[in-house]
Every structure is written in C-alpha cells, then in structure tokens.
A and B are shown apart, each in its own frame.
Chain A
Amino acid sequence: MSILLILIPIAAAIAILCGAKAKPTALGAAALNLIPGLGCVFCWKHESWTFFWEVLSKPSIHLSLGFYDGMSVIMVLLSVIVLFTAVMSGKCPEGREKLWYSSILLIGAGALGAFLSTDLFFFYAFHELALIPTFLMIGILGSGERKEAAWKITIYLALGSIVLLAGLIWLVSASGSETWLFKDLLASSIDPGEQTGIAALLIVGFGVLISLFPFHSWAAPAYAAAPAPVAMLHAGVLKKFGLYGLFRLYPMVSSGMQDWLVWLIVLLLCNILWVGFVTINQKRLDTMLGNSSVMHMGYIFLAFAALIHAGSFEANPLAKPAAVVLMFAHGISIALLFMLTDTIRRKTGTVELAELGGLAKAAPRLAFLFGLAAMASIGLPGLANFSGEVLVFLSGFWGYEGGTLGCLQIATILALWGVVISAVYMLRAYRQTFQGPSVDHTNSEHVKDFGPFCQIPAAILAIALLVVGIYPNSLLNLLKEEPAAPAPTEQASH
C-alpha cells in the first residue's frame, strides 16, 4: 500500500503535464496523500504496507517499499505535511502552472520514495528523482540570482550524489550482502579497514546533501532564489534525506565513523558557530533563513556525533530519537518560515530587512505565526524544536560521569551557544520586520493580512509544532524499538 504514497503524486504530476487542471489536481493529490501519510502512524507495522518487486536479478535489487522503522514513519509524516502545505500555499506565476505543480509533486514523490524505500538502491534513486525538478524550478521560476544559484546547487548536489554513490557501492561490495535490502545489509559486517574509507565517502556524500560545513555554500543562495514551495520542500524534507541515510547505515560502519569523529565534531561546530555568525550578518530575510537552516543541521550532526562516540544505538539510546525529533521539528519550522517569508515578499515586494518594518499592525496574524515559527526555530520550550534540541544536548552528555570533559562534551557546550546565536538573528529579524514604525509599503493601506489559502497551511504547520512541542512522546513513541532496552527517561533534564 505504501506505493500509493508515491504513485498518487506521480500520477497527478503526469495528469497535470497531460493537461489536467493544475492546481485542483495537485491539491487533491496532496490532500489524498495525507490520508495514508497520517494514517500510517497508527498501523505502520501492518504487513499491508510492504511492497516488493525485484527489478534486477544480479546484483539483486528490489523496488521494496514499506516502513523500516519508526524513523521512516516520522519522515513520511513530515513529507506529506510539508508537501500538502507547499502545494496549497505556493503562488504560481501566471501561465507556468504545469511546470510549477508537477515539479512540486515530483519533489514530494521523490522524497516519499526515498523515505519509504527499504532497498538501498531505490533509497538513493528516489532522492535523485526529487533533485531534478528542484534544479529546474530554481533555474526557471526562481527569483533574483536564480541561474547562478541553480547552477551552483546542481553541481554541488550532483557531485555529492556521485561521492555518495561511490560510498554506497563500496559499502554493498564490502559487506558481501546478496541483495541491496536494508535488512540484509544491516545484518552483514564489514572489515574495519574498509569501513574507514566507506565512512569518509558517506560523510562527504551525505554531508554535501545536508550542507555540512564546508560543503554548505550552495544552500543559502539556492533557498533564497528558489520558489517558496521548493525551498520548503528542500530545506524541510529533502535535506533530511542525508541525515536519515547516515542514521540508517550507521550500524554498518560504526567503527569506521569512529575514525572521523573528531573531524566531524570540528565541522559541525563550524556549522553551528561559523555559519551562525554568518547568519547574524545577513541583510535579507530569505538568505538569513537559508543560512539558519544550514546552521541547524549542526545540531543534528551533534546527535550523530554522540551516537558515534557511544558506538551503537543501544549505548546511547537518546541520540537517534533526538536527531529524528529535531529533523521533524526543523523541517516543519523552516517550511513555515519560508512560506511566511514568501507571503511577506508578495505583500510588500521586498525581503530586505532594512526596507521592512511595522508589519505587525497591518498583518497581525502573519506576525503572530512568524513569531511562533521564529520562536520554534530558536528553541523555545513548548515548541517542537525545543524537545529536539534538549534531547540532542542530553545525548551529548549521555554516559558522562563527571571528571574531565571529553571532546564531545566540549562540543555540546559550545553548541549551546548556537541557541543564543539563533535568538540574536531571529529576534532581530522579527523586530526589523514586524515591529517599529511602518514604512510606506508595509502599512495597512498596502498590506492586508493573509488569506485562507495561506492561513490554513500555516496553521497546520504551527499546530504540528505545538503538538510535538507539548507532547514529544507523540513522535518518541514511534521510535521505541520493540525488544530493545527501555525507552530513555527524561529525568536529569535541567
């Protein structure tokens, strides 16, 4: 049944290309996708979700879909929500509906395919499927420096994908596994010597896709130039593909990753602190959000580093839940922020912070939701990101029994400063945009509060942030492994 989640958007995209009415078809497909997407939460373990078809006999590769574990469920959840809101909120330029809606649907289908695949090959291939429409949309329908940004993201991500593919082929070849199925791969073991090389390729390959420092410079210009739905889908959903992959494949290369731990910690600190300072310095709302999304990847890498440090999922039971909750929270919050920024751009014609001001008077609801998303992004308690970030920091100190601080603990302490940095740039941006005196093009004569077509998706995202923020167990329960050790308790939190 899980193939429906992929087929619905693809079929709708083809129908749109063949001449069906673009917006209703796309919206209908995305809404229809919400049903299995949200419904799976309750019954994802049921067998009817799996789909299995051998496409190639030697090497044995299957189009195998289903929910491998709770992490897949959460990512699918994230994908369907962001896909629906992206389709609904986006404002398509006149006459380009076909390209616009079919591309958005294809990106969504690719992301869903990647998270649903239980075969390493299709996991990789579906992600590529999602990238092509992303490149095209940025290049054709983007704004500002769209051509340069599109060319840059194309080259960066294509190179990253190739490095990744090299790593994956090596991984499978070294594992001696008969098939490319996750379950067979994860059951095999790899010689530690080879693991080091494979781990390096995986970190670089996935790292480019996740915008790990120093491979991050494609992200901010691309998100700034991209049409809002594409930025929402890429920053919110597609970028999580790399992290998902790292966590999924980690058990196969656990000792190899160990060799790169220090490097990884240095890079992730650069992500948080260096890119954090770069973000503070941004003069435009869209590039600021792009950089902030790069910066927040550092936290998730921190959870990954904690996992590497501990050596296995069991040794640090907090790391994976922390990363997954934060992936979900960041995906929702950044999607909401990009959506609202696009609304601001459409209403005032600019996203230069210096040219904005006093919008809260003219558009109070917009201001409220933007504030909510900004607070979430900073990590205010009660919102989803907080649960994720707290878990990440806790995972950094998991198993720490006093005494001298290890490099992971030092990194965690340094990373905490990232919260301050995010507060600085987010609050400043909020003040610049919504507070203070109104300028001519931001006063209530020109700007009206936003209409239902934007309110509904924004509300959906905001509710998701609140639900996970107030009751993180809604996600954490999905991550509980059946036979594994008891779930982490949240005692020593403060």
Chain B
Amino acid sequence: MLPSYWLEIIVLLAGLVLLVLEAFLSPKRKSAIAVPAIFVLIMTLIGVFLAEKGFGEENGELTRYYAFDPMARFFKILTIVATILTLILALDYRKTLSRFTANPDSEDGTGEYYCLFLFACAGMMWMASAADLVSLFVALELTTITSYILVGFMRRSVGSLEAGVKFLILGALSTGFLVYGIAWMYGATGSTNLAEIGQNITEENATYLLFGLALVLISLAFKVGAVPMHLWIPDVYQGAPTPTTAFLSVASKAAGFAIAIRVVEPFLSEGSILAPRVAFILAVLAGATILLGNLAAIPQKNFKRLLAYSSIANAGFILLPLAAWQTGDSDLTSKQVIAFYLAIYLIMTFAAFFVLAVIHRNTGSDEISAFEGLGQRNPLLAFMTAIIVGALAGLPLTAGFWGKFLAFKTAIDAGLWVPVVLGFIGVAAGFYYYFQIIRSMYWRNALDESPFETKPLSFYTIATLTGLIVVLGIWPQPIYWLIGA
C-alpha cells in the first residue's frame, strides 16, 4: 500500500522531471508537455483511492504535520481533478498563450506554464492535509508563489502583467497577515499544532488567540476570495490567462476552504469558549461576501469579470455552512456541505470557463455581448451554456441547485437568519445577472451570423461537464459517496 504522503511527492517529482524534459521539446510543440502531466495526475488520482486509509502513529513525527482523513482525501481528489481540467483547458488555449509570450509564431517559452500547475497542485494537496500551522504555511506558500507566475505568465499582455503585480502585492500582504497571526497563536498557546491549540484555549489566552485567528482569517479570506480581501479578484481574474483564472477560482478556493476548515475547526468544536464569537465573525463575513459579490456582479458587462464576482458570491455561500458549523448526526456536517458545494462548484465553474474560452477563440472577446446570437450560430453550445448558466444561478434539477440548497438548509438549521436572508437576496440577484447570458444568446441577434466552431477537446469536455450537471441535478447521491456521507 502506498503511504498517502507519496501522492504529493509524486506530483512534485513529476513537475520537476517534466520541467527538465520540457527543455528538450521543439519550440513548436511545447504544449505537448501537458499530456504526460495529465497522465501523471490521473495516476495520482487512482493513487488517492489506493493510498492507505489511516495515517496513524506508525508514521512517527509526520502525523503532527500531516493528516489523511476523509476530508483530506476529498480535497486531494478535487484538486487533482481541477488541475487535470485546467491542463485540458490550457491545451486549447495554447494559441492565445503563445501570442502573448516570447514568440507569437512558436510555443517558445510556454512549456513551463503546464509544469507550474503541477507544483501548485502538490501545494494544494498538502494544504488539504495540513494539521499544523507550519506545514499549512509552507504548503500555502508553495501554491501562492506558483500562482504569481501563472497569473502574470502572458508577458506581452498588459492586463496579465497588471494582474500579476496586483496579485503579488496583495498576496504578499496576506502572507504577512498569516505569519503574524500564526505568531500570535503560537505565543498564546505555545504550539503550532492545530489540535493542541484547540485543547489549550483558556479564559486567559482567549483574547490573544482571537486576535491571531482574526489575522489568519484575513489571510484565508484572501485565499478564498471573501470580504474583506476580495478586491483583487475581479482584476486578477480578468487579466490572468483563462486557464489560470479557472484554476484560481476552483482549485485555489477549494484549498483555501480546506485549510479554513482545519484552522477554524478547533475553535468551533464543542466546548470551545470562543465558538460563539468565531461563528459570529464567520457569519458576518458570509453575509457581507454574499451581498457584495452578488450585487457587484449585476452591472458587469464582461463575462470573465462576471465569473469573478460570481466566485466571490460563491465564497460567501460556502462560508454559510462554515459559520453554521453543524456536526449533526442525521444531517450532513458543515464540512460535508462545504465539500459537496465545492464539488459541484468545480463542475459548473470549469464548464463556464471552457465556454468562455470557446467564445473568446471565436469572437476575440470576453464580453457578454459576444454571446449574442449564439442560439442561432451554434444551437448545441448555446443549449449547454444555458444549462451551465442555469446551474450557476441555482435552478432546481441542475447540480448547482443542490449546493445552494444544502448550504441554506445548514444555515437555516443553525438559525443564521440575517445571512440567510442576504443569501436569498444574493440568489435573486444571481438569477438576474446569470440570465443575462441566456438573454443575449437567445433573444438578441448577432451581427455575425457565421457558424461557430468548437475544438473537439473543448466540446467533449463541455458536454461531459454539462451531462454531469444534469445527472447530478436529478441524482446527487454519487457526490455523497465521495464526501463519505
């Protein structure tokens, strides 16, 4: 049996090896490096299922830093799937990528792009398992530093560079918050292990711990794109290469929530004197994020920017069950609801980004107006887009509905009335701005009536994801098996 920590090591080693091999590829075919990368990730995905279930004493000192529980397993699966999808998206994006890097005619200097995702993936997989603030910090930095490069990768695109700089500055700031917070927590309890911190909450150190936790939460808010650290999202998402945006919006957010659960859990669990206060802070963050993300999305004219605001809004919806913190016996626990939501969020969001990439390739634009007349130019794609957008809005009988449904149900069970009301306002706003896409696809005519071509790779991925949205919309039970409910 494979010890679970080998999974990260495999991905990391594969990244290093592919980086070396990439140098020997012909400049015209650098993107071919994505194929072995995808292969390695699929093998790792199988490995996750084969890996030893428990992670106990026999692993010695490592158990302090590393956990392999059902949540860790689920988040590893999620990260790997997200990275595979990102690489597929990047394969169809290679033309645009090379246009804005060294040489528009060849793929010179784009090979690293594909390898970097592997490093980020390894970091996120480790984040899912982090049981100690130190390992959490190291894993987070591995991911974040890789992301800086991925965002600013299109060197000749001003938008990408601007996004890279913004991301770097705010990311560095949030890292500062994180380290400072960790220091406070360590100072208050004398330990960096999260379980030990949870055991050492007393009346005396509660204030210091809360201050430290607040700092850490600010940094985590940056990671998941929640208020008050949400401002970078629209600009960075819009400027970054589309595969990076998709990766940030799904994998990065999921990893952020994975560590958020780990950090918050000891404070919210039964018997903690800080539980009401921490839950209150989280409820405030959830409400503010939902409201801000959804309302700010309404006036957007650019689909990529719209998806950015929608990603903020979704962070808010995921914060709801976190703030509700149910450990229920008959119902799902909050952790499971978050995992469920993220699994569905992955499907919908990647589907949306694949559609965006197809639209961009055909019309050269990310604007919502680029969707006009799609109903006539490519009825099948328009139909699938309608389903995807409907799922994002949360229509019943699509997968997207179940995520919101469970999140709201958890929050209602916990009696979080104010955030729930804000949540319903947010969903209502969501109907408005998502349906604008459907409106422009079907009710408006395009100036250009020529048919619309989709590359087979993108087309089949969109079709698969749309199929999943519909099937899971009627029968969501399979996700329960993944999250171990």
Contact = CB atoms under 8 A, between A and B. Distances in A.
Interface string A251-273: 00000000000000000000000
B397 A129 contact: yes
Nearest to B435: A154
B281 to A, nearest CB: 24
A57 B375 contact: no
A139 interface: yes
A140 B424 contact: no
A68 B480 CA distance: 30
Interface in B82-135: none
How would you classify the secondary structure of chain B's contact residues: helix, strand, loop or mixed?
helix
A57 B480 contact: yes
B390 A158 contact: no
Contacts of A59: 331, 409
Interface in A103-157: 124-126, 128-129, 132, 136, 139-140, 147, 150-151, 154-155
Contacts of A158: 428, 431-432, 435
Contacts of B331: 58-59
Given A140-B375, A166-B424, A55 B475 contact: yes
B449 interface: no
Interface residues of B, number: 32
Contact of B474 (A55, A57, A166, A178): A55
Interface residues of A, number: 31
B69 interface: no
Contacts of B424: 162-163, 166
A204 to B, nearest CB: 12
A484 interface: no
Contacts of A139: 439, 442-443
B412 A162 contact: no
A57 B477 CA distance: 7
Contacts of A55: 474-477
Contacts of B397: 125-126, 128-129
B9 interface: no
Nearest to B393: A158
A49 interface: no
A317 to B, nearest CB: 34
Given A57-B477, A140-B442, A163-B424, A132 B431 contact: no
Interface string B379-411: 000000000001000011100011001001100
B209 interface: no
Contacts of A165: 405
B432 A155 contact: yes
A159 interface: yes
Contacts of A87: none
A165 B476 CA distance: 19
Contacts of A150: 443
A56 interface: yes
A162 B420 CA distance: 12
A170 interface: yes
B427 interface: yes
B474 A63 contact: yes
5 contacts: A55-B476, A56-B477, A57-B480, A58-B331, A170-B412
Given A125-B401, A173-B412, 15 more contacts: A55-B476, A58-B331, A58-B332, A124-B396, A132-B395, A139-B439, A147-B443, A150-B443, A154-B435, A158-B428, A162-B427, A162-B428, A169-B408, A170-B412, A178-B330
Q: 4 tightest CB-CB pairs across the interface, nearest first? A: A125-B396, A158-B431, A128-B396, A139-B443
